[in-house]
Structure 1
Amino acid sequence: MRRAEISYRSGPRNGTVVPMIIITGATGTIGGEIVRLLSARGERVRAITRRPDAARFPAGVEVVGGDYSDLPGMQRALAGAVAVFIVGVLGPEYAEADRALVRAARDAGARRIVKLSAIGTGDPALGRVGTWHLPGEEAVRAAGVDWTILRPSSFASNTLSWAPALHSGLPVSNLTGSGAQGVVDPRDVSAVAAEALSSSAHSGRVYTLTGPELLTTHDQAAALAAALGRPVEVVDIAEAAARDHMLAAGATPEFVDGALAGQAFARAGGNAVLTDDVAAVLGRDPRAYADWVGDHVSAFDRPPVSSDWRAY
């Protein structure tokens, strides 16, 4: 992997800025896979991350540090942008950061912006949390460039948060009751994003990205249990207990209120949505949750017994 300075010069002879597809949040679940997909196609890709020293990408990918709180630094990192994938920071206090990042991408010359949002955005029934992505969505629509908005359902990878409990022989927590969701493989979200970044065919589209089936937490636990060959117990968590836990972990009261409203929305069936958007973009069916589990089951298995198991 070749790390680049902020100037992103194409070579020492002319010092010109090389046009790039630029991925923010590039070491995240979605962003990292987009980088790999585009690089495999031979696209010129620049990955922006807060942890450039820890980034591991294919050779030829330019990697630079960037933080949404440092707008001048982000503006420099976006130099030469042809297309930009934007991962906003979720929360009520980050609305202006999302808008500013979109403006910076446009001002850098990007002709195409793909914004990662969330299912239910703008739905009044979702309450305040349903507005958190709206400033970024509105900024993208008003930027005067080709735009695509992605609203994925619950990620299959969210269940990785169950791993510590399973390693300790504990049940997994459930805040959504019997509410079912169109759980989507994040690799499908990344693949759709890569298509939208590469082609104007998806301009002006809002894609709600789901998997092929509606699943409850208990359904996901059953799929994981089948892959592990042992039971996966589920325990329902009271909203008050979840609130106390999140507040103790340092979340703001407003964020906690929004997050719990999102869980209540799902619990009431608000996210029981399936679409064919993944298939329409990729020309194949979306991956099932069981497929994702099969590829990641080792993350849930019991940690090896050793003197340093706590580092697992």
Structure 2
Amino acid sequence: MKKLILQMQMSVDGFVGANDDHPWQLWEWGDDISWDDALKRDFNTVFAGIDTILISRKMAEEGYLGHWGNAAKKYPADPFYAFAQRIVEAQKVVLSDRLKTSRWERTVVVSGDLPREVEALKAGEGGDMAVFGGAGFASGLIAAGLVDEFQLFINPAVLGAGRRIFEQGGFQKLLLLGSKAYACGMVVNRYAPAGGLGARRRFQSKKLFGENPLPSSLRLQGAVAAVAAVSIPDGEKTMILVTGATGLNGKAIVREFARQKHEVRALVRDPKRASMVGLGGLAGVELVEGDMRRAQTLGAALEGVDRVLMISTAAEDMTETQCRFVDACRQAGVAHVVKFSGAESNIGYDATRFRFTRMHEEVERYLEGAGMAWTHLRPSQFMQVYLRDAPTIAAEGAFYLALGDTELSPVDVEDIAKVAFRLLRDGGHQGESLDMTGPEALTMADIAARISQAIGKPVRYVDVSPGQRRRNLLAAGIPAGFADALDEQLAERLRRPKSRVHLATHDLFGVRPTPFVEFAQRHAAMFRGEA
């Protein structure tokens, strides 16, 4: 079911329009933009999850659709204007009793009972719905109880008088979903109606305003499902649990705790396997047997735990596994759950088109409503995935993928481990989504060049068809279902070939981003076939 998101520019004193001609908005929708880069990126993140736009007749007739269509044509290479292209591509719905037919592309006109028409649109499949209109249009939607999420862009201006949007609906309580301050002076506040449909589905949209350029001391924290985050008293020892400890990232994080001589508890299904992969005997590491899918096995693992890092295998049952584990954490009195999630680095990537990013976001929403403090750690592709290609690089001086000139921004798992350790050790960052990428947006030809530099011999990238790539996966023993998922991921990456670089989380935790060539040098023996 779709969610209806109302975005409004607002003054500090609550007005959405001025009575006089004051230039009060940081961006008046022209070419002169005073928004900072982080706000621009976050604004686009919202639109990545929008596939329907509800628009007033007046705004449509005043040229809104033509304006953004022209902007998309004028700035095709500007990442900021990706949202304009999204507006062009989205289905537009004009609510009007006056208009009978639409004269705009991808636009329909609906009339009649407003609540019935909007609820019918919400019942459709796909992404969320955005609303664009004036104060009167917005007020009508609010008064009818149709808005599921408010995104209020608070500009650093006081108008003293003007137009408001909350005057028709009477008293209502709202839940704060998140609040972000930006270097340009804007503060974006997100709310859902308390107790209503919007509250139950309040986190359905893509990671809204998840990048914050300000230091943590100045950051406005999001509320956690109307429940105050449980704090750990000063001076008490913090018990930390890491799940998925034998996997790629879990193992790296547990080893980081051992390197830092900090105690940690690691949940494993098979202690013997944990010892075989190097976790046995690590100083300060307590291995505890249990299964995230079976709450009755988790008593010892969760006893006395304050913070949990939740990781599990990317499998068809990931959503069910992690949601059950969230329930177990809540019942055990865990204060803070950090979900190890994921966010593709490609600009405009639709997470709903790849089953595992879709599952991650389903779990994120479930955790956000569970009544505990939460944080999402959301790295992009791992540099370590290229170690899978080491055999052909060593034997043939080549690796074979189907990405063409698509860019990715892979991040070193060791960087993620350092961030995760500091986050779990120090706490804080409740209600935040922490995206991570590597320091470079790289094509596969760039990857080949950096591996070549690291190992001192030529390496080339060979572009193959998606069909050939699938056959290669199946021949390597990849299950057909997992190959299907990777086909989904590939298709969306090819559709969105440009990649962002996001190092704010590295900076926030004081972790130096590892360049790909350094990663390749660290694993040079494997790429040469010597390990």
- TM-score category by the smaller chain? 0.7 to 0.9
1:292, 1:159 → 2: CA distance? Answer: 10
Q: Which residue of 2 aligns with 1:43?
A: 262
Q: Which residue of 2 aligns with 1:177?
A: 404
Q: Which residue of 1 aligns with 2:274?
A: 52
Could you list the structure 1 runs, at least 4 aligned residues long, displaced by more than 6 angstroms after superposition: none
> Percent identity of the aligned residues?
30
Spell out, residue by residue over 1:165-221, the C-alpha distance to the aligned partner (whole angstroms, 9 max, x if none): 123225212122211111111111111111221233311111110111101121111
Spell out, residue by residue over 1:103-131, the C-alpha distance to the aligned partner (whole angstroms, 9 max, x if none): 22232222111111111499646514231
1:146 aligns with 2:373: yes
TM-score, length of structure 1 as denominator length: 0.82
Aligned residues of 2:397 and 2:458 also touching (Cα < 8 A): no
Q: CA deviation at 1:240?
A: 1.6
Report the CA distance shift for 1:271/1:120 in structure 2 as closer, same or farther (over 3 A). farther
Q: Which residue of 1 aligns with 2:479?
A: 251
Counterpart among 191, 199, 207 of residue 426 in structure 2: 199
For 1:1-312, what aligned pairs fall within 5 Å after superposition? 20-50=239-269, 51-57=273-279, 58-120=282-344, 124=350, 126-129=352-355, 130-169=357-396, 171-247=398-474, 249=477, 251-253=479-481, 255-269=482-496, 272-303=499-530
Aligned residues of 1:120 and 1:126 also touching (Cα < 8 A): no
Report the CA distance shift for 1:217/1:281 in structure 2 as closer, same or farther (over 3 A). same
For the residue of structure 2 that corresponds to 1:290, the secondary structure is helix
Aligned-residue CA RMSD (Å):
2.5
Decide which structure has the larger Cα Rg and report it: 2
Report the CA distance shift for 1:266/1:44 in structure 2 as closer, same or farther (over 3 A). same
- Count of residue correspondences: 286
Aligned residues of 1:48 and 1:65 also touching (Cα < 8 A): yes
**Range moving further from structure 2, 90-99 or 48-57:** 48-57
For the residue of structure 2 that corresponds to 1:132, the secondary structure is helix
Greater RCO, CA 8 A, separation 6+: 1
Aligned residues of 1:184 and 1:209 also touching (Cα < 8 A): yes
**Range moving further from structure 2, 61-70 or 225-234:** 61-70
Q: CA deviation at 1:73?
A: 1.9
1:181, 1:232 → 2: CA distance? Answer: 18
1:99, 1:193 → 2: CA distance? Answer: 21
Aligned residues of 1:52 and 1:64 also touching (Cα < 8 A): no
Aligned residues of 1:155 and 1:183 also touching (Cα < 8 A): yes
Q: Which residue of 2 aligns with 1:309?
A: none
TM-score, length of structure 2 as denominator length: 0.50
**Range moving further from structure 2, 150-159 or 113-122:** 113-122
Report the CA distance shift for 1:234/1:128 in structure 2 as closer, same or farther (over 3 A). closer
For the residue of structure 2 that corresponds to 1:202, the secondary structure is coil
Write 1 or 2 for the structure with the bigger share of helix: 1
Q: CA deviation at 1:37?
A: 2.5
**Range moving further from structure 2, 199-208 or 222-231:** 199-208
Specify every segment of 5 or more residues in structure 1 that has no aligned partner in the other structure, as ranges.
Answer: 1-17, 304-311
Specify every segment of 5 or more residues in structure 2 that has no aligned partner in the other structure, as ranges.
Answer: 1-236
Report the CA distance shift for 1:80/1:273 in structure 2 as closer, same or farther (over 3 A). same
